Amino acid sequence: MLQNLGFDNLLSYWIDTGISGSVLATTDAAETEPFVITAVLLSLIAVYIVSKLGGELSKRLDLPPVLGELVGGVIVGVSALHFLVFPETGATASDSMLMSLVQSFGHLDSAAIAHVFETQSEAISILAELGVIILLFEIGLESDLRELSKVGYQAAIVAVVGVAAPFILGTVGLVAIFHAPVIPAIFAGAALTATSIGITSKVLSELGHLKSTEGQIIVGAAVIDDVLGIIVLAVVASLAKTGEVDLLNVVYLIVSASAFLLGAIFLGKFFNQSFVAIADKLQTRGALLIPAFTFALVMAVVANLIHLEAILGAFAAGLVLDETDKRKELDRLVAPIADILVPIFFVTVGAKADLGVLNPAVAENRTGLIIASFLIVVAIAGKVVTGWAVFGQPGVNRLAIGVGMIPRGEVGLVFAGIGSASGVLDKPLEAAIIVMVILTTFIAPPLLQMALNGQPEESDAPEDMIPAVEMVSVED
């Protein structure tokens, strides 16, 4: 739009919008502040209503509640009601039903409502990020380090096969069948690699299978997958930028990621003692919770600082604190915080997923849909085979392990976003990756439930009310 404006228009454009933007922090912010709070509160109310409705409906249909939370997000999001939309999907304040409500209530001008929209979107995204950090912290608390190390080799094999198979199948297929150029094909292949640990572990927890052999292999593999995925991303991103791979950077990433996870667990054994000693000495409210939560945040920041995902740090913190005798009390304290923060993450993921790219009535979607179908087949097949890479575990449910690795979630979207921003991916390929991410995310929970159906469910109604570890440990 800007290039069509004349010089005078350009100047007045900046004076109208730019100046108000630059002084926002000192004057406008104070005026729009109450509306930002109202907008955030309304967003949260929407999140809780749709996540509870969706979750309960899923539960009634014998599906994992998290699926209902995702669908609830889709319904309030960019694909349907447009109540809760985000700038990442190209939406502006005028696309948001919530913002129209706030605007008509507060009689705000377009600059003010744009500020409210941006701030509310950032705030909800940050709350969602805190939600996924708490989720992985809780999963870490529920995962048993000794159980995990028992299945360590199997998890590593599953992870490596689960990265290599879809990557090779996807890249070769795109070049051979669709005659795609090599670098975009490699990028799309890379987008197929990383399992979403958040969705898989939530489903496992909901089904009461987090502590089973299958559950531990899946969680372990998903964690290693996340690390591998970040390495793959760094590799293909540098490929996209320079056309060649920076080997030194790859080595650095592999070493730092491994050193972080192993170092955290190793040092954690010593920290455990100090942690318990500190918590026992504190006499004010939150004596146990605040040190534990602070530790999770510190680990998340450290992970961030060495270019890993924050959630890996939170997961490692949970693993470490799981080894203390405060574990049960901590589970009980973290559960309500997870209850209010985690739904924000899942509803936000659903709200940001634009299912419009799936509409076959739009001609330009069709190429994308054909490529998407191919990517989905590869995404599923490439992960399902991983179950058969497990060795030395007779009677293990191989299908469940493979299916558990299917959901791509937010990690795949990161690939699509970076690929699109760097210009490597054209529109159909980007849309195809997004469709693949959405579909694998949505089909994995019911598929995993079906795959685990052969095995006895540990209990029925009340387990969702109690952190999964409680139920599991009761029966161990």
Considering only residues 129 to 158 of the shown chain, the ones binding a second copy according to CB under 8 A are 129-130
Minimum CB separation from a second copy for residue 211, in Å? 17
Q: Does 30 bind a second copy (CB under 8 A)?
A: yes
Q: Which window, 115-123, 154-162, 169-177, 245-253, contacts a second copy (CB under 8 A)?
A: 115-123
Instruction: Please identify which residue in 97, 265, 417, 458 interacts with a second copy, judged by CB under 8 A.
Output: 417
Helices (DSSP H) in 77-212: which residue ranges? 97-106, 110-142, 145-150, 152-178, 182-191, 197-206
Minimum CB separation from a second copy for residue 293, in Å? 6
In degrees and rounded to multiples of 5, residue 333 shows phi and psi of -80, -35
Minimum CB separation from a second copy for residue 102, in Å? 10
Q: Which window, 42-50, 156-164, 183-191, 427-435, contacts a second copy (CB under 8 A)?
A: 42-50
Query: For residues 395 and 449, is the Cβ–Cβ distance under 8 A?
Result: no
- Amino acid identity, position 2: L
Which of the residues 278 through 317 are near a second copy (CB under 8 A)?
A: 282-287, 289-291, 293-294, 297-298, 300-301, 304-305, 310
Query: Token pair of 212, please?
Result: 């089973």
Query: For residues 214 and 404, is the Cβ–Cβ distance under 8 A?
Result: yes
Q: What is the helix (H) or strand (E) element at residue 231, kind and residue range? A: helix 213-242
Nearer to a second copy, 361 or 465 (CB): 465
Burial class (CB in 10 A: 0-12, 13-18, 19+), 69: buried
Nearer to a second copy, 242 or 283 (CB): 283
Residues 6+ apart with CB under 8 A from 460: none
Comparing CA positions, the residue from 175, 171, 153 lying closest to residue 163 is 171
Q: Does 51 bind a second copy (CB under 8 A)?
A: yes
Q: Does 2 bind a second copy (CB under 8 A)?
A: yes
Give the span between the Cα atoms of 431 and 451, in whole angstroms: 29
Q: Does 42 bind a second copy (CB under 8 A)?
A: yes
Q: Does 87 bind a second copy (CB under 8 A)?
A: yes
Instruction: Please identify which residue in 14, 266, 388, 391 interacts with a second copy, judged by CB under 8 A.
Output: 14
Q: Does 88 bind a second copy (CB under 8 A)?
A: yes
Minimum CB separation from a second copy for residue 403, in Å? 22
Minimum CB separation from a second copy for residue 300, in Å? 6
Instruction: Please identify which residue in 21, 153, 355, 458 interacts with a second copy, judged by CB under 8 A.
Output: 21
Nearer to a second copy, 58 or 154 (CB): 58
Q: Does 421 bind a second copy (CB under 8 A)?
A: yes
Minimum CB separation from a second copy for residue 428, in Å? 19
Query: For residues 371 and 191, is the Cβ–Cβ distance under 8 A?
Result: no
Minimum CB separation from a second copy for residue 277, in Å? 14
Residues 6+ apart with CB under 8 A from 242: none
Minimum CB separation from a second copy for residue 80, in Å? 21
Query: For residues 412 and 439, is the Cβ–Cβ distance under 8 A?
Result: no
Q: Which window, 18-26, 182-190, 223-231, 352-360, contacts a second copy (CB under 8 A)?
A: 18-26
Minimum CB separation from a second copy for residue 417, in Å? 7
Helix/strand/coil (H, E, C) string of 338-391?
HHHHHHHHHHHHHHHCCHHHHCCCCCCHHHHHHHHHHHHHHHHHHHHHHHHHCC
Burial class (CB in 10 A: 0-12, 13-18, 19+), 381: middle
Nearer to a second copy, 155 or 334 (CB): 334
Which of the residues 314 through 353 are near a second copy (CB under 8 A)?
A: 333-340, 343
Query: For residues 155 and 221, is the Cβ–Cβ distance under 8 A?
Result: yes
Q: Does 423 bind a second copy (CB under 8 A)?
A: yes
